[in-house]
Amino acid sequence: MNHKGTRRIAAAGMGLTVLCTIFCLLLNPVCGAAAFFLGTAVTAVYLYETCKRYQKLQELNTYLSLVCSGEYDLALTDNSEGELSILKNNLYKVTVLLRSQNEMLKKDKTYLADSLADISHQLKTPLTSMIVMTELLEEEEDSEKRKEFLSIIDTQLSKMKWLISNLLKISKLDTGTVMFKKEQIPLKNIIRDCVQPFLVSMDLGNISWGLSGEDAVITGDRKWTEEAFSNILKNCIEHMEQGGRLQIEIKTASIYSSVVIRDNGSGISQKDLPHIFERFYHGENASAESAGIGLALAKTILEKEHGKISAKSREGKGTEFEICFYKVII
């Protein structure tokens, strides 16, 4: 209601009061005076409450205008009772929610910008290498040199394919579009399958491996569990010297089964250890070829399957990863 409407109601109230007063004066002067004062008091109280209510509505309107313009750091609390007070408090709750969502959007925007910068950097290196090799290939006539250049280009293409493939997998996991199957998976079986693709490179590096412990069956998606194990094994093998040893042990407990993967490689510094599962993180001992997403992808997969991964390491001694799979009922 606006000021004009309030004035009309006030005028009508006073007019009615005057008419009642005149009528009562004709009957009884005392009743007439009482009617006049009572009517005036009621009208005055009504005007006061209406103006007060209108003022609160104006405050709410101003508040909503500020919120709509992006001002979320506003305080709006009211300890009094009444419909408007309930509305004010509900508006404040909505504002707090909007403020929280706005902060999350800012963080997501920053994360996206950083991720795009990291992805751009990861793709730029092999692309630059391929451009250089292509230019040399055009000028080179020696067949052996041309084969060497083609081999380098092929290696860089494989790296780009692996990087893009893993980024797509992480993206699918983040958006929740992956439906994980619930399969019964024997751990020894899946570990042997995951080690198999690395056997040639391990033989070339004279790296031995062993599997111990009693077999256990976990519940999960075999394809994605293999993906997680493969990335962890890849990380271990890449950080071992000639003659290294990779030891894998299966442990069982009442509520979970775990796989412990130990290597005697270069190890991870204590400064880098808390960050090794972060995307695009490069530690002190990371190779130039490292993209920094393998362990992050493994962690994301395992957490989606309600598992957990942890690591401990000593520089120059090696690293130990422990993957826990909690027992669930299908």
Q: What is the pLDDT of residues 151-181, one digit of tens each?
A: 888 877 877 787 788 778 877 887 778 888 8
Residues 82 and 128 both lie in one domain? no
**Distance between CA 248 and CA 314 in Å, rounded?**
18
Task: For residues 145 and 265, state if they share a domain.
Answer: no
Q: With H, G, I as helix, E, B as strand and everything else as coil, classify residue 80.
A: coil
Contact assessment for residue 318 and residue 245, using Cβ atoms and an 8 Å cutoff: no
Q: Which residue has the higher pLDDT, 225 or 66?
A: 225
| Residue range of the domain that includes 64 | 3-100
Q: CATH code at 205?
A: 3.30.565.10
Do the beta carbons of residue 160 and residue 123 sit within 8 Å? Answer: yes
Residue 105 lies in a domain: no
Residue 41 lies in a domain: yes
Same domain, 126 and 51: no
- Check: CB of residue 263 under 8 Å from CB of residue 303: no
One domain for residues 128 and 21: no
Are 191 and 231 part of one and the same domain?
A: yes
Same domain, 187 and 171: no
Residue 228 inside a domain? The answer is yes
222 plus 320 within the same structural domain: yes
Contact predicate 294/277, CB 8 Å? no
CATH number of the domain residue 120 falls in: 1.10.287.130
Q: Is residue 159 part of a domain?
A: yes
203 and 269 within one domain: yes
Residue 239 lies in a domain: yes
Tally of domains within the chain: 3
Among the candidates 127, 150, 175, a domain finishes at: 175
The residue among 175, 196, 218 that closes a domain is 175
Identify whether 144 is part of a domain: yes
pTM, two decimals, is 0.62
Summarised one tens digit per residue, pLDDT across range 226-264 is 999 999 999 899 888 888 999 999 999 888 899 999 999
**Strand partners of residue 321:** 261, 311
**Report for 86-90, 131-135, 214-218: range of highest mean pLDDT:** 214-218
Residues 136 and 258 in one domain: no
Please tell me whether residues 283 and 216 are part of one structural domain: yes
Report percent pLDDT > 90 for the chain. 25
- Give the pLDDT confidence score for residue 101 in this predicted structure: 78
DSSP-assigned letters across all residues of 266-300: S---TTTGGGTTSTT---TT--TT--S-HHHHHHH
Q: Among residues 125, 152, 175, which one ends one of the domains?
A: 175
253 assigned to some structural domain:
yes
Tokens standing for 30? 């005392």
- Kindly state whether residue 127 falls inside one of the protein's structural domains: yes
Do residues 118 and 243 share a domain? no
Are residues 303 and 198 part of one domain?
yes
Query: What pLDDT digit, counting tens, does each position of 24-63 carry?
Result: 555 556 565 555 566 566 666 666 666 666 777 777 677 6
